Amino acid sequence: MAGHSHFSPANVEEYFEFTAEGRKRIIYAFVAGVVALLVGIYLLSRGEGHEVVQAAAEHGAEHGEHLSGGAVSHHGDYDWTNRIWANLWLNGVYFTGIAVIGMFFVSIQYLAKAGWSSVLKRVPEAFPRFLMITGPVLILTFLFKGDVIFHWMHHGITDPASEHYDKIIAGKSGYLNFGFFLGRMVVFFVLWLVLWNWMRKKSIDEDLNGGTNNFYDMVKIATGFIVVMGISSSMSAWDWVMSIDTHWFSTMFGWYMFSSWHVTGLATITLTVLLLKDKGYMQYVNFNHLHDLGKFMFAFSIFWTYVWFEQFLLIYYANFPEETIYFLERWEGHDKLYKATEILNVVFNFLFPFLIMMTRDAKRTAIFLKICCCFILVGHYLDFYQMIMPGVLGPHGGFGLVEFGMVTIFASAFIYIISNELTKASLIAKNHPFLEEALHHDI
């Protein structure tokens, strides 16, 4: 592949080679993650795995024993294995977001008829393949251990005759019930995957046959996906994360979780493009394309901050106990673990991206982009940790080998499956009608 843009796009193909050495490294990382997870589970089973939270465990019962529907109030029967299922759920939700944002990014480009992104669209186009892993993970975790994650699934919680009856949760049972919840989850994954497969087939067909028919078909598929995403991103936020703290709700939560997913997906796209360039691929992606990706990360880090701060400010200012409990749990509830994570959350997701990406040159420099991507990826993992762990584990949360092992397993699987998917089509969509424009993109 030539390292410049003076070629006839229709005659050029560039295929990613997933080498035996590359596969081996990822498998080693996966095995290391499994070993760390098993050691972490062993330490947990012996009562030694609460590396960061022993003081918190003594401290946790002091706060909000029954105020929150999702945290301290249902940890009387805490089992050490809950931490494993909580981590499975956390990583399932986090990596589902990265995968589905790949399709969202491509759809937005088609809907806007954007030209610049046609040189790199094959990268995000590969991401939704991972939904075939995270979908079953989330569905099976819900089926077998849903009552560990969700307070509203506890036995007798909606039965007036039961000692566990909760009037508020019973009032939400028309929406939060096993069958409807499972149905929504299955429908979301099926719709995402069907639309992605349809888009992917059209995209590869365009490489083979040229013309503009496939392009216009993909615009229509993208339109359908954006409508589906608009509904499913909010509803999955309510279902998979907000309903963990069952008594609590925020009308901004759908936007909040979507903004976190979106900027994480953008960071993953940018980092993947940069790593491919380092290996000698995608030399036609120039500083101007990187500048645009940098602007996206900069803008949506600020957007996430806006939603995070507005959600906090409105609840803080109104000062209703049933709303403030959500932030009190994370700020004062369980020793200093969640408080420290909340501070890192804002530093990694707002302060660092804001300062790193502020200048024009930084957005055009690979090393600055890579550093920013890493902060965003770690920061938004912490963001989802803060959304999920206080409600599921309360004072029993922590950072240790279980967390490290689980995220390493998921990240290794993601890299392996996406690398494999990238081999299935040319890295350059050679018959994209806007490719010539993209090759001379200059800002």
Give 226-236 pLDDT, tens digit per residue: 999 999 999 99
| Average pLDDT estimate for 293-321 | 95
User: Where does the pLDDT of residue 8 fall: very low under 50, low under 70, confident under 90, or very high at 90 and above?
Assistant: low
Give me the pLDDT at residue 443, please.
80
The angle that helices 82-111 and 213-236 make with each other, rounded to 10 degrees, is: 140
pTM reported for the whole predicted model: 0.92
Question: Would the pLDDT of 216 be above 60?
Answer: yes
User: Where does the pLDDT of residue 49 fall: very low under 50, low under 70, confident under 90, or very high at 90 and above?
Assistant: low
Top pLDDT among 158 and 55 is at 158
User: Where does the pLDDT of residue 60 fall: very low under 50, low under 70, confident under 90, or very high at 90 and above?
Assistant: very low
In angstroms, the CA 54 to CA 395 distance is 9
Cα separations (Å) of 360 from 143, 168, 377, 434?
48, 51, 22, 25
Please give the radius of gyration of the chain, using alpha carbons only, rounded to the nearest integer: 23
Q: Which residue is associated with the tokens 């979908």? A: 135
Give me the pLDDT at residue 77, please.
65
Query: Model confidence over 100-141: pLDDT tens digits?
Result: 999 999 999 999 999 999 999 999 999 999 999 999 999 999
Question: Would the pLDDT of 1 be above 90?
Answer: no
In angstroms, the CA 180 to CA 165 distance is 20
In Å, how far from its chain's centre is CA 134?
Answer: 11
Give me the pLDDT at residue 39, please.
96
Question: Would the pLDDT of 56 be above 50?
Answer: no
- Nearest partner of 199 among 228, 220, 230, 227, judged by Cα: 220
Question: Would the pLDDT of 69 be above 90?
Answer: no
Top pLDDT among 397 and 260 is at 260
| Average pLDDT estimate for 278-293 | 94
